[in-house]
Amino acid sequence: MEFVTPEEIAKYAVFEIEGGNTGYDIMSALDSAVLGPTYRAGLLRHWAIEKMMALEREHGVRSVAFELLGPPKNSKLLFEAHLLRAAFRTMGAVRESTAEAVCERLNRLVREEPEEANRIVSVGMPILLESGELLRGPRVIVPPDACNEEVTPAKLEHWVRDGWVDLRLANCAKWVERFRRIHADVQALPEGDTSSRYLRDRFFWNEAQGIQPGKTVAWILSTEEGGWRWKR
């Protein structure tokens, strides 16, 4: 029988860390074997978005999330951004409002337009209102099973963070601050810059078009969540 000793593993690891080439670099092997983004997929993305927008217009509904996006938190953030779009339309209107005004309008929106709330709870995502009331459907994704479990404030905040649409004042204040930060970042860019140095520039956000949940959540994941990745 053939074995690998811990000393051999340690030797190869140290050699790789020091910049040597052992031929046993697992990360490089995976990097060369895993299929990355393709030109064809990038080309088809535009047409996929056009088709989805056409379906939205045809059926008169907004397609936001179907809870098939990995962690439920992704869908939670998308739905919160969608409600802000429905209530305020633009990032400018949100950042120029107070957290109290945003909170009041969002809470009123889900009460007066139940179809908006139904779209969210139908995918297993509860809505927590400022009053403490909870809107939910027959199925809840987070937590997946809380039968006979004692609910504590810490557990509640954990669930809300990971998979509930949060319409409380503190979270509304967080959204106002996000849009103000995005605006400040854009305003800091050089006027008239047409280079490819900046990705999220004025043209990218295109505020006149209204809040774009996908772009907004991508910004949150990369900026707030530290989701930007590169090889080291």
List Cα–Cα distances, 173 to 30, 52, 60, 205, in angstroms. Answer: 42, 31, 30, 21
pLDDT value at residue 229: 65
CB 100 within 8 A of CB 173: no
**Cis-peptide, bond into residue 143, ω within 30° of zero:** yes
Q: Mean pLDDT over residues 76-101, rounded?
A: 96
| pLDDT (average), residues 68-81 | 90
Q: Which helix (H) or strand (E) segment is 210 a member of?
A: none
Give residue-wise pLDDT tens across range 147-192: 777 888 999 999 999 999 999 999 999 999 999 999 999 999 998 8
What pTM does this model have?
0.82
2-11, 67-76, 136-145: least confidently modelled range = 67-76
C-alpha 42/C-alpha 46 separation (Å) is: 8
CA dihedral 124, 222, 183, 167 (to 10 degrees): 20
Q: Which residues pair with 31 in a beta bridge?
A: none
Q: Tell which residue, 57, 73, 75, has the closest CA to residue 65.
A: 75
Q: Return the closest-CA partner of residue 104 out of 176, 169, 171.
A: 169
Q: At what angle do helices 72-88 and 99-112 cross, to 10 degrees?
A: 90
The domains of the chain are located at 8-35, 64-190+199-224
- Which residue is associated with the tokens 């949060």? 166
pLDDT in tens, 92-150: 999 999 999 999 999 999 999 999 999 999 999 999 999 999 999 998 999 988 777 78
pLDDT (0 to 100) of residue 231:
58
Which pLDDT score is estimated for 232? 56
Backbone angles phi, psi at 135, to 5 degrees: -100, 130
Give per-residue pLDDT as tens, 178-229. 999 999 999 999 988 888 888 888 889 988 889 999 999 999 999 988 877 6
From the list 45, 42, 86, the residue with the least C-alpha distance to 64 is 86
Predicted confidence at residue 1, as pLDDT, reads 62
For residue 194, the one-letter residue type is T
Q: At what angle do helices 99-112 and 169-187 cross, to 10 degrees?
A: 120
- H helix intervals, 24-165: 26-33, 39-59, 72-88, 91-95, 99-112, 114-121, 153-163
* DSSP labels, 93-123: HHHTS-HHHHHHHHHHHHHH-HHHHHHHHTT
Region 33-54: mean pLDDT is 89
